[in-house]
A and B are shown apart, each in its own frame.
Chain A
Amino acid sequence: MPFFAPSDDPGPDFAALAKIQGLAPIAPLSAVDDRLRITHATTVVAVRYVDGVVMAGDRRATSGNIISHRAIEKVFPADRHSGVAIAGAAGPAMEMVKLFQLQLEHYEKVEGSQLSLEGKANQLGQMVRNNLPAAMQGLVVVPIFAGFDVRRETGRLFQYDITGGRYEESNFATSGSGGSLAGSVVKMKFHEGLTRDEAVDLVITALFEAADEDSATGGPDMVRGIYPVVATITLDGFERVLDAEIAERFVGLLDVLASRDGGGRISETATETAGGAL
């Protein structure tokens, strides 16, 4: 059982405690991705809406051009009122999430009160910063953090860079290889006062479009019944949207996309149409 003198007591900081106990991972000394293909997780997105935030992530993990997992999860509850979504090297990212969840819970138990949402966002920033030596060797982890701020009564979103830079976004945040594609979709359709239905449809559309263009992002797998993980975070807490609802919304989305073309199916790219006309 760990006891400390007051001068070197780690306080409520679990990461520091784990480090003292020798449980912190060590960064590799040379580039990892050159010799070994690292499993990568890709597109995640979070959008603010009237009741809080919605977070979503596709289910694909890739190693180079190989699909290593079809049903990996990238969106996790951090605690009751916040969530974290990951992109980058899957192994270190999962470990970071586990440590982050425990960090928040440990603080709450030791101190007897919760960290503020701002405090949680800063903690995650420090973890990303601590990962920089590993990131320099190819093990990049770039999460997004979102939560419902019970003091301000609003949803809030935070994006990071590999140095641990923490950027609060007002409307939406994305990360991963398909992040900018998903971000463009959200940016086009975002408006103040999105309802839950609109927000869930929006993140699904964003992930669909990202998967359409980025091979490292997985689309809805209707054959196997694998759909993106979507969760809402409101005053009532973190709640995962059921797969059945996501499946239904995808059917709706495909109908909309197909009806645009008039032919009852989603159109191919314009190049093929042009080629056909020649």
Chain B
Amino acid sequence: MSMPFYVAPEQVMKDRADYARKGIARGRSLVAVQFAGGIAIVAENPSTTLRKVSEIYDRIAFAGVGKYNEFDQLRIAGVRAADLKGFSYSREDVDARSLGNQYAQILGQVFTHEMKPMEVEILVAEVGVAEPDDQFFHILYDGTVMDENRFTVLGGDADAIASRLEATWAPGLDLLSVLALAVAALAGPDRSLVASDLEVAVLDRGAQRRSFRRIERAELPAFLPEA
């Protein structure tokens, strides 16, 4: 009978984390930014059919980077959890914090107990009645939850993108200016991104009920600064 080699738990966790980080870094990044009229989510995504950003509930959006099949499975589970909760209680009882916690539980569970961690980083964003009520829950592959404000960046190049946003973001911007700075932050100094590289959606603060609105590829050029 062969004896398995002893591997220190620290090493196991480190290997898993490295594996997940590598997987995530291979994909392209995404930003969610607060503005006067709501929250804008901008993802670098050349596909028009495989979405990174989608609707979960009336005022809640989901965004994921990394391995598509994994974050899409999480997205559908989130829609199900939200719709079931709204059905058995009330629509106003569905909130981003509870969804974020449930996601964190699942990602944490998978990270420690499964063969392979999920190679994803996800965002649950909820638009509030006023800007201070907006919520961003940024959840990592190991279940770490970060409650962020103003804006959040997901993906491999997050630090550089976040520092560019930090320099340009200001409170109370309108949609066009916030999209311009989000796209510039995603692109960085050496590249420029056009409509066909992007997926954009908005959580509209003033909406009556369902606030999620996708800005389709065809209408996107009107929202972006002239290249």
Residues of A near any B CB (own CB < 8 A): 1-3, 14, 17-18, 21, 23, 98-99, 102, 105-106, 109-110, 112
Contacts and interface: CB of A to CB of B under 8 A. Distances in A.
Nearest to B49: A112
B55 A109 contact: yes
Given A1-B106, A112-B54, A23 B88 contact: yes
Grouping DSSP codes into helix (H, G, I), strand (E, B) and loop, the B interface class, with mixed when no group exceeds half, is helix
Contacts of A99: 87
23 contacts: A1-B103, A1-B105, A1-B106, A2-B77, A2-B80, A3-B73, A3-B77, A14-B87, A18-B87, A98-B87, A99-B87, A102-B83, A102-B86, A102-B87, A105-B210, A106-B80, A106-B83, A109-B55, A109-B79, A110-B79, A110-B80, A112-B51, A112-B54
Contacts of A2: 77, 80-81, 84
B78 interface: yes
Interface in B59-87: 73, 76-81, 83-84, 86-87
Contact of B84 (A3, A17, A110): A17
B54 A105 contact: no
Given A23-B88, A112-B51, A112-B54, A105 B83 contact: yes
Contacts of B54: 109, 112
Contacts of B106: 1, 3
Nearest to B86: A102
Given A1-B81, A18-B84, 20 more contacts: A1-B103, A1-B105, A1-B106, A2-B80, A2-B81, A3-B73, A3-B77, A3-B106, A14-B83, A17-B80, A23-B87, A23-B88, A102-B83, A102-B86, A105-B210, A106-B79, A109-B79, A109-B83, A110-B79, A112-B54
A110 B76 contact: yes
Contacts of A3: 73, 77, 106
A44 to B, nearest CB: 23
A26 B83 CA distance: 20
Contacts of A109: 54-56, 79, 83
Contact of B102 (A1, A102, A110): A1
Contacts of B210: 105
- The interface centre, meaning the residue of B55, B77, B84, B102 with most chain A CB atoms within 10 A of its CB, is B84
A21 B84 contact: yes
